[in-house]
Amino acid sequence: MVIEHLQSGASAALITDAGTPLISDPGYRLVHACHEAGVRVSPVPGACAVTAALSVSGLPTDRFLFVGFPPTKSAARQTWLKPIAKLPNTLVIYESPHRIVDSLTDIASVIGGERPMTLARELTKRFETLLCGSVDDVLESVKVDTNQQKGEFVLVIGGLATLDGEQSNQLPTVDLDKTLSVLLQHLPVKTVARCAAELCGVKRKTAYDRALELQRQ
């Protein structure tokens, strides 16, 4: 019916209340039907959660893979995650509020808790938040704060380390002890631990415990 309407010389717009149409939705079927019928389709750029999240993630954007929503069940989700866990590309995943903790748990298990990531919640809305760090750090932050379990999520995850000599998508390796030693000269231990965890890609507790050891020495 839509195609007949368009072929009569009329025009139509495909719009959505959830960002850019056809990004993780079935609207491509209509566009494909238009192409098949010789109906011209023209894009109108608009807000897109994928590119918005990438732009603030702090992770490489020269190569990324958008994989949409993962399966709803844990076993299927882990199977789905396994092949993309080995890719060097930055990964972009959508997730909904009632599965966010379970999905992050599976990501930590399959992709790795130390992998760098950014969780973007409610992008461009009133309660927009960004959580950056390792997968384990982000998971812990979401677990302890129920407000971080509400809304719509974009998960941006760093790619696997160097493959066949190609540049790594992971953050550069930084020496933990050296970083802690420098920061301890200027900052309180808790602040030192938080900064060192982000810089070195380790758990905050690991950085905190090691900072205490260095202080005692």
Instruction: Kindly tell me if the per-residue pLDDT of 99 is higher than 50.
Output: yes
Q: Which residue has the higher pLDDT, 165 or 36?
A: 36
Closest residue by Cα to residue 59 from 83, 91, 87, 85? 91
Question: By C-alpha distance, which of 71, 70, 112, 63 is closest to 91?
Answer: 63
Residues of the chain with CATH 3.30.950.10: 49-157
Ranking 48-52, 100-104, 195-199, 210-214 by mean pLDDT, the lowest is 195-199
Q: Domain 49-157 carries which CATH code?
A: 3.30.950.10
Kindly tell me if the per-residue pLDDT of 7 is higher than 50.
yes
Q: Is the pTM of this model over 0.85?
A: no
Q: Could you report the per-residue pLDDT of 161-191, keeping only the tens digit for each?
A: 523 334 444 444 568 888 899 888 888 888 8
